[in-house]
Chains A and B, each alone.
Chain A
Amino acid sequence: MATASVPARRGGIVRRPTSTTGLRSWFTTIDHKKIGMLYGYTAFTFFIIGGLEALVIRAQLARPDQTLVNAAQYNQIFTMHGLTMIFLFVMPMSAAFFNYLIPLMIGARDVAFPRLNAFSYWVFLAGGLFLYSSWFLGGAPNGGWFGYAPNATTDPTPGMTFYALGLLITGIASSAGAINLAVTVVNMRAPGMTLFRMPVFVWMGLVVQFLLAFSLPIITVALFEMLFDRRWDTAFFDPTRGGDPILWQHLFWLFGHPEVYILILPAFGIISEILPVFSRKPLFGYQFVVFSGIAIGFIGFGVWVHHMYAAGLGPVANTAFGISTAIIAIPTGVKIFNWMATMAGGDLHFDTPMLYAVGAVAMFVIGGLSGVTHSVVPSDYQQTDTYYVVAHFHYVLFGGAVFGLFAGMYYWWPKVFAQKLGEGIGKVQFWLLIIGFNMTFGPMHILGLEGMIRREYTYPAALGLTFWNEVSSAGAFLIAFSVLLFIVNVVRTRRRHRPLETDDPWDARTLEWMTACPPEPYNFETIPVVHSLDEFWHRKYAEDKEGRLVRVPAGAAEPAPGPAAGHGIHMPSPSFWPLVAAVGLPTIAYGVMYSWWLVGVGALILVVGFTGWALEPSVAD
């Protein structure tokens, strides 16, 4: 809990809200669980939008020379597809999981700075809405998610200004969240929970927060430089005044490569939690998995030039980064073996979470292998900027990260919503998704090697690329159908009102399953004292003389909350100041684009928001 200070008699500027239920409470909540849910709902909505954008792309490219959309529209759609999926879906969905689960998994009542947590969410939402407002204000970003200068700095439509400002806003959200969660993990663990008794999911979360904290500032600088070039005619990337477009690429990829680990490590964490539970045995090589995550975090800052092999940096750079890229494959790859060894010898229950977790591993292997071929630099001169790369990153990001996130949704759904998602539909939906996914992205390996470049809105029939494009597009619609089934599953589960029989439906291993489904606002009646890794499991099972497990009859779940539940536990009150302050940021952004007055108004809103925030008492008077 944040530093408790007893309020002075004279409170803040306005009365602090107290209610934690009802619609208004969602706007003032500082409860990490509700904030996690907000992130989840918002991220999933953006997933659907990004998916629709993908369907337009695939419909346009299904056959040669089609005119479903023109060049200008297509360039906006593929740019927004990338931006949406990366910044508005995968990252915030990971944030949803981190926010909801990390305090529960470490035995804490909330994160270190609950209002800052709310601020992060509202700023993220503001950034996403700001970015999407561009469609109505002259054109969406159209320079690719990577925004290479000078094309991005000289494009005459306002889209790339929205890009720079929008990503600056979402970057603030992620930076604040990173500091918040890192401090939470380092500083708020339950007694006895040493770092090496933390769940792997928490470890991966910690590495992700450090990656965010140290990579976001670099792209912040890049985005400011792009903004200044576009808005105030600076010379950062202007070759006619001596600027070097390659500087953009360095700054972008110095962020961009750690970013891809930010995208995948949460899924690695989720997989590392699910496989042991559904194999009924512990993670094989916990320390190895943790250390390889840390190694990926470090080495991840040393491979960025592998996105730039064809940029002409010279053989020394290409050699050095070819080698470092090969090296980073090692800690990434050994996890696969650890996961396989976790499953081997286990009692495997293929409920939907397990299907998705194993599916994620299987798909990530393919993406990882194509990644290794990228490190063969001279051949990468053929592969780069083709659909071979599109195949690679969709296998690791969709096959790896998104499948991992789906696994997490099915797994923790009962914790959050007190119901299990339907298993029947779940399994059907999984198989349709994995088939559709492979149908969509498998052929792209072939298309790339057969000469299809990236980011083209059409191609001539004479290139002979039609057949696999048709297959790929058909697969995309199968993916869409499967996602529709997921939504059907959610709706039907909601309507069914079939409550859980137990708060521990999966017989799990980690502390979050010790709490009620859903947890009380204060999470734990008493903060548990931790004696080992997989603390919850060891409270339920003890090893007999032969090392076999025997169920401990006393049980380990928290006693059901009685009338005195939560007595003496004071959680900080809700607050609307984070939302107020957050509104200041897009206001400033619109001001930068249209009017200095708006900048002033936005700055004022920020200052007022922060002042109210600083001055309000921690509990309502």
Chain B
Amino acid sequence: MAETAAHAARPAHVEEHTSTGLPNTKLAMWLFLGSECLLFGALITTYVLYRGASQTGPYPSDVFDIPYTSVSSFVLLASSVTMVLALTAAEKHDHVRMRLWLLATAFLGMTFVGGQVYEFTHFYREGLSLSTNLFGTTFFVLTGFHGVHVTVGILMLLSLVGMSSTNRLPDDPAFPVEMVGLYWHFVDVVWIVIFTVVYLIPNAPPK
């Protein structure tokens, strides 16, 4: 059963038999994303519960720049498109195009994160820090957690590129790309929720 690999050939992908027909990793990823829903749910709930409860400023309306954040949100949304394109290329066994679109996705993700860093620095200069008030506390923690998740996603994307470049991915690399894609799309959907709840829904004027 143990095959010896061809010298420079990519590893072959062996389908395991499972009770549901779904691969173990896919099932695991969905369950993991389910638990992540609870994680972000609790963070978003905290934000919503404390909306309007800050006793001092700065308040959201003082610092938010909706057009700016809309652009960076669009960037992240676009990265989901490039992710799909990467998967399509992977399914066609086109490793070159796949790497290209994976890099594009990672780049767009980095742009998003970079945009957030810039935005946070701007808020900080306006006087909003973690400890200033409830808005600062809940905003930075919620978006910060999301940003960390995006960063981890970027690392996974770059790892895929690296592994593909060094022939460590199977000839048909669609599966690992799909798994990372699932995670990436999830992070994107979470951002849509955060953007809506935090930025778009009008905040109560300060008391």
Whether A and B touch directly in their complex, counting CB atoms under 8 A apart, is answered as yes
Which residues from chain A sit less than 8 Å from chain B, CB to CB?
1-9, 112-113, 175, 178-180, 182-183, 186-189, 193, 213-218, 220-222, 224-225, 228, 232-236, 241-244, 247, 251, 254, 568, 570, 611, 614-615, 619
B137 touches A570 (CB 8 A): no
B10 touches A179 (CB 8 A): no
When distances are taken between beta carbons in the complex, the residues of chain B under 8 Å from A189 are 19
| Given A214-B35, A221-B39, also A242-B133 (CB < 8 A) | yes
A219 nearest CB neighbor, chain B only: B42
The answer for the CA separation of A178 and B8 in the assembled complex, in Å, is 38
| Given A214-B35, A614-B159, also A235-B131 (CB < 8 A) | yes
When distances are taken between beta carbons in the complex, the residues of chain A under 8 Å from B12 are 5-6
Q: Which of B1-19 contact A (CB under 8 A)?
A: 1-5, 7-14, 16, 18-19
Q: Closest Cβ of chain B: how far from A238's Cβ, in Å?
A: 9
| A/B interface sample: 16 pairs, CB < 8 A | A3-B14, A5-B12, A7-B5, A112-B24, A179-B31, A179-B35, A188-B18, A188-B24, A218-B41, A222-B42, A225-B141, A234-B131, A235-B134, A235-B136, A241-B55, A242-B134
When distances are taken between beta carbons in the complex, the residues of chain A under 8 Å from B32 are 179
A228 nearest CB neighbor, chain B only: B141
Q: Closest Cβ of chain A: how far from B194's Cβ, in Å?
A: 14
When distances are taken between beta carbons in the complex, the residues of chain B under 8 Å from A112 are 24, 27-28
The answer for the CA separation of A193 and B201 in the assembled complex, in Å, is 50
The answer for the CA separation of A187 and B23 in the assembled complex, in Å, is 8
The answer for the CA separation of A9 and B6 in the assembled complex, in Å, is 8
The answer for the CA separation of A218 and B45 in the assembled complex, in Å, is 11
When distances are taken between beta carbons in the complex, the residues of chain A under 8 Å from B31 are 178-179, 182-183, 213
B11 in complex: contacting residue of A5, A225, A228, A242, CB < 8 Å: A5
The answer for the CA separation of A218 and B40 in the assembled complex, in Å, is 9
B137 touches A228 (CB 8 A): yes
What's the count of A-B pairs with C-beta under 8 Å?
Answer: 147
Q: 1/0 per residue B107-140: CB within 8 Å of A?
A: 0000000000000000000000011011011100
With A9-B7, A189-B19 known, 16 other A-B pairs at CB within 8 A are A6-B3, A7-B11, A179-B31, A182-B27, A187-B18, A188-B19, A188-B24, A214-B34, A217-B38, A221-B39, A221-B43, A232-B130, A236-B46, A236-B137, A247-B46, A611-B159
B28 touches A233 (CB 8 A): no
**Most B Cβ at <10 Å: residue of A2, A3, A188, A215:** A3
When distances are taken between beta carbons in the complex, the residues of chain A under 8 Å from B133 are 235, 241-242
B28 touches A570 (CB 8 A): no
When distances are taken between beta carbons in the complex, the residues of chain A under 8 Å from B24 are 2-3, 112-113, 183, 187-188
Q: Closest Cβ of chain B: how far from A192's Cβ, in Å?
A: 10
A217 touches B137 (CB 8 A): no
Q: Closest Cβ of chain B: how far from A299's Cβ, in Å?
A: 17
Q: Closest Cβ of chain B: how far from A213's Cβ, in Å?
A: 5
A113 in complex: contacting residue of B8, B28, B54, B163, CB < 8 Å: B28
When distances are taken between beta carbons in the complex, the residues of chain B under 8 Å from A220 are 39, 42
The answer for the CA separation of A225 and B44 in the assembled complex, in Å, is 13
When distances are taken between beta carbons in the complex, the residues of chain A under 8 Å from B20 are 186-187
When distances are taken between beta carbons in the complex, the residues of chain B under 8 Å from A187 are 18-20, 22, 24, 27
The answer for the CA separation of A232 and B159 in the assembled complex, in Å, is 33
**Most A Cβ at <10 Å: residue of B16, B137, B141:** B137
When distances are taken between beta carbons in the complex, the residues of chain B under 8 Å from A213 are 31, 34-35
Q: Closest Cβ of chain A: how far from B138's Cβ, in Å?
A: 8
**Most B Cβ at <10 Å: residue of A113, A180, A186, A215:** A186
Which residues from chain B sit less than 8 Å from chain A, CB to CB?
1-5, 7-14, 16, 18-20, 22-25, 27-28, 31-32, 34-36, 38-39, 41-43, 46, 49-50, 53-56, 130-131, 133-134, 136-138, 141, 145, 159, 163, 167-168, 170
B5 in complex: contacting residue of A8, A175, A225, A232, CB < 8 Å: A8
Q: Closest Cβ of chain A: how far from B10's Cβ, in Å?
A: 7
A218 in complex: contacting residue of B4, B11, B42, B159, CB < 8 Å: B42
The answer for the CA separation of A213 and B30 in the assembled complex, in Å, is 11
| Given A187-B22, A216-B35, also A8-B137 (CB < 8 A) | no
When distances are taken between beta carbons in the complex, the residues of chain B under 8 Å from A215 are 38
| Given A183-B27, A187-B27, A234-B131, also A8-B1 (CB < 8 A) | no
Q: Closest Cβ of chain B: how far from A248's Cβ, in Å?
A: 10
Q: Closest Cβ of chain A: how far from B94's Cβ, in Å?
A: 20
| Given A8-B167, A180-B28, also A3-B130 (CB < 8 A) | no
The answer for the CA separation of A4 and B15 in the assembled complex, in Å, is 8
A236 nearest CB neighbor, chain B only: B137
Q: Closest Cβ of chain B: how far from A456's Cβ, in Å?
A: 32
When distances are taken between beta carbons in the complex, the residues of chain A under 8 Å from B18 are 187-188
Q: Closest Cβ of chain A: how far from B170's Cβ, in Å?
A: 6
When distances are taken between beta carbons in the complex, the residues of chain B under 8 Å from A244 are 49-50
B46 touches A221 (CB 8 A): yes
B54 touches A242 (CB 8 A): yes
The answer for the CA separation of A189 and B53 in the assembled complex, in Å, is 51
When distances are taken between beta carbons in the complex, the residues of chain A under 8 Å from B22 are 187
A234 touches B130 (CB 8 A): yes
A8 touches B168 (CB 8 A): yes
A233 touches B19 (CB 8 A): no
| Given A218-B42, A242-B134, also A5-B13 (CB < 8 A) | yes
Leading 8 A-B pairs by shortest Cβ distance: A217-B39, A221-B42, A217-B38, A233-B131, A234-B137, A187-B18, A112-B24, A242-B53
When distances are taken between beta carbons in the complex, the residues of chain B under 8 Å from A182 are 27, 31
The answer for the CA separation of A233 and B137 in the assembled complex, in Å, is 9
A175 in complex: contacting residue of B4, B35, B41, CB < 8 Å: B35
B10 touches A8 (CB 8 A): yes
The answer for the CA separation of A290 and B41 in the assembled complex, in Å, is 29
Q: Closest Cβ of chain A: how far from B112's Cβ, in Å?
A: 21
B1 touches A570 (CB 8 A): yes
B43 nearest CB neighbor, chain A only: A221
When distances are taken between beta carbons in the complex, the residues of chain B under 8 Å from A233 are 130-131
When distances are taken between beta carbons in the complex, the residues of chain A under 8 Å from B49 are 244, 247
Q: Closest Cβ of chain B: how far from A268's Cβ, in Å?
A: 23
| Given A9-B7, A186-B19, also A3-B25 (CB < 8 A) | yes
A3 in complex: contacting residue of B16, B50, B163, CB < 8 Å: B16
| Given A217-B36, A225-B141, A614-B159, also A183-B28 (CB < 8 A) | yes
B42 in complex: contacting residue of A1, A251, A615, CB < 8 Å: A251
| Given A7-B11, A217-B36, A251-B42, also A186-B27 (CB < 8 A) | yes
When distances are taken between beta carbons in the complex, the residues of chain B under 8 Å from A186 are 19-20, 27
**Most B Cβ at <10 Å: residue of A1, A4, A222:** A4
A217 in complex: contacting residue of B19, B42, B53, CB < 8 Å: B42
Q: Closest Cβ of chain B: how far from A245's Cβ, in Å?
A: 13
When distances are taken between beta carbons in the complex, the residues of chain B under 8 Å from A254 are 42
| Given A112-B24, A183-B28, A568-B1, also A242-B55 (CB < 8 A) | yes
Q: Closest Cβ of chain A: how far from B5's Cβ, in Å?
A: 5
When distances are taken between beta carbons in the complex, the residues of chain B under 8 Å from A217 are 35-36, 38-39, 41-42
When distances are taken between beta carbons in the complex, the residues of chain A under 8 Å from B131 are 232-235
The answer for the CA separation of A615 and B163 in the assembled complex, in Å, is 9
The answer for the CA separation of A615 and B39 in the assembled complex, in Å, is 29
When distances are taken between beta carbons in the complex, the residues of chain B under 8 Å from A6 are 2-5, 11-12, 14
| Given A179-B31, A242-B54, also A9-B5 (CB < 8 A) | yes
